[in-house]
Amino acid sequence: IQKFIKVAIPTDLERLRKHQINIEKYQRCRLWDKLHEEHINAGRTVQQLRANIREMENLCARVRKEDILILQRMIDPVKEEASLAIKEFLQLHLESAEVLKRQFRQQEAGLTRSTT
């Protein structure tokens, strides 16, 4: 459990923060291919983060009843931070996907006009 609290989950959270920074940068710079690739990689990081939280919860289920409260105090802040990071990423992902859709429509409209 210490491995998850001190290493695995913080590593996933840092990776997710870097993906978010890259997504914002690629969106500003209109680097659509890189933006799409970054979304895919960030999605994988979210999946890994969720898997690590599930694994940590599975380990917690094996703990003696008298140790559960102590353990909950240790893992709840980490779970809360991970949940918040995932929510923030999903909001950014949604907003960025809308930008990509608009860009795609504009490109399609430009192609349609150029062929007529």
Q: What is the pLDDT of residues 33-92, one digit of tens each?
A: 899 899 999 999 999 999 999 999 998 888 888 888 888 899 999 999 999 999 998 898
Quote the number of domains for the chain.
1
Q: CB–CB of 13/82 below 8 Å?
A: yes
Looking at per-residue pLDDT, the higher value among 23 and 64 belongs to: 23
Residue 116: the pLDDT is 55
Looking at per-residue pLDDT, the higher value among 111 and 14 belongs to: 14
Q: CB–CB of 96/38 below 8 Å?
A: no
What is the rounded CA–CA span in Å between residue 90 and residue 70? 31
Task: Judge whether residue 103 has pLDDT over 90.
Answer: no
Query: Which residue range is the domain that position 41 belongs to?
Result: 1-113
Range 3-9 average pLDDT: 93
